[in-house]
Amino acid sequence: MTARQFFLNMFYLGVFLFSISILLPFNFRNAPFIIFSVVTIYFFSKPKSNNEKEYTTILVANTIYFFFMLISIFYTGNLSEGGENLLRIFPLIIVPLTFYTVYTRNNINHAVSRDRLFKFFFISTILFFLAILIYTFFNGYITKTYLLHYPERIAVKFGKYSMHPLYASMFVVISLIFSTAIFKALKRGHAKVLFFISIVFLFCQLILLARKGPILITVLIFLLYFISLKNRKAVLYFILSIIFFLGLIFLNQSLKDRFFEFASALSSSGFASPGSTSTRIRIYNFSLDAILNAPIFGYGIGDVKDILSQYYIENNSTYFNSHNQFLGAWLSSGVMGLFSLLAVFVIGFKKAIKTKDFVYFSILFLFFSMALIENYIERQNGVLLFSFFINFFAFESRNNHNKKGVNAE
């Protein structure tokens, strides 16, 4: 085996480990990105075999947000906090460099890589939640309050496998998106039956996790999917499925309360009622007030927490981050931080629409929508998912576009 083949296999190993990362304890979920770092160093020293300019464009577009965050550390006051925050988002520079160096120096079978990623990610998510179900059953956690305490339990009761329910929901939604591509490849009847059971199981997990944002995003994605099929029966089945899962939602008191609070907060002009939606509105108001005092350059990546804390102290409120990744970017590095993050999505959506890639479009829609309600780039599970998938699909979309051009000719 040559050195080139060895490091190419290392790259594939990193992709595989990422695809099953939900099965890894949290302190090992960075392992694929450590492998990517080594692979990048090796291939960076090798001559390019593919000088596609669009790969360079993708590299610049997907790394510029990190560089604006890096620049902001030079005018931040809290260097310790800033350094920690930069280290946390380091995958945003490593992953695009990895895909760039590998794709410009090797011939990659994109179809096989895509297919394996989808299947491994989907199966791993099923296995993770199946293991959670088995564990909770044998430990006597399945009681009358099982639905009520499930989100809290998955967040704190499983040691190094614990996960915030919002990020656990993201794994579920991504798996459901991948299922649209997996289903097309299924041919045997028993495989399709097992597949549909898995889909129902994942939807049930989404309801158990009781995060209204991911649930609403999933409904919108699959509404678009079934409409795109242009099949009346498919749309009818989707509507019936929604009615069924609405019934399940009302069986989950915690989730039902969340949706009622959401509707109540939106219909209220003062947003003074208790609940997550009203709290988020107040958080956004505090964040916007802070932004108005430093709209051009922001406060630096290390000072945002200190600045927002002052607003919460003045209003006798508990501290929260901005709960909006775009506002967080604006607070950290000003308008350039905001625009560089927006650019990732604008360019990505253009590529997804151009290549008619529903999975890519849906992944972007998920991350964009979640960015409106959560600072997921500032959390380990969030930044790992975002950095990998944004770059995997961006670089792969270039290959898909080339293929379509060749076929057209």
Those residues with Cβ within 8 angstroms of residue 324's Cβ, 6 or more apart along the chain or in another chain: 283, 284, 287, 371, 372, 373, 374, 375
Among 63-72, 310-319, 393-402, name the most confident range.
63-72
Q: How confident is the model at residue 12 (pLDDT cuts 50, 70, 90)?
A: very high
The Cα–Cα gap between 117 and 20 comes to 9
pLDDT in tens, 208-265: 898 888 999 999 999 889 888 877 777 787 787 777 777 766 666 666 666 666 666 5
How many residues does the structure list for the chain?
A: 409
The closest of 278, 305, 271, 274 to 290, measured between CA atoms, is: 305
* Residue 294 or residue 409, greater confidence: 294
For residue 312, how far is the Cα from the chain centroid? 28
Q: How many CB atoms lie under 10 A from the CB of residue 333?
A: 28
- Residue 185: predicted pLDDT: 83
The reported pLDDT for the residue numbered 409 is 30
Domain layout of the chain by residue ranges: 3-263+322-408
Model pLDDT for residues 264-273, shown as the tens digit of each residue = 655 665 545 5
pLDDT tens column, 117-158: 999 999 999 999 999 999 888 887 777 777 677 888 899 888
What pLDDT digit, counting tens, does each position of 271-287 carry? 455 566 777 888 898 89
The C-alpha R_g of the chain, in whole angstroms, comes to 22
Q: Which two tokens stand for residue 233?
A: 């029966």
CB atoms within 10 A of CB 70: 15
Q: Alpha-carbon distance 393 to 211, whole Å?
A: 26
**Contact status, residue 377 vs residue 383, Cβ threshold 8 Å:** yes
Given a cut of 70, whether residue 341 has pLDDT beyond it is yes
pLDDT for residue 205 is more than 80: yes
What tokens appear for 80 in the block? 């310790």
From 40, 53, 56, 47, select the one nearest 102 (Cα to Cα). Answer: 40
pLDDT recorded at residue 408: 33
**pLDDT digits over 51-98, tens only?**
678 899 999 999 999 999 999 999 999 999 999 999 999 999 999 999
385-409 mean pLDDT:
71
| Residue 406 predicted with pLDDT over 60 | no
Amino acid making up residue 346: V
SS3 track for 262-306: HHHHHHCCCCCCCCHHHHHHHHHHHHHHHHHCCCCCCCCCCCHHH
- pLDDT tens digits, one per residue of 61-70: 999 999 999 9
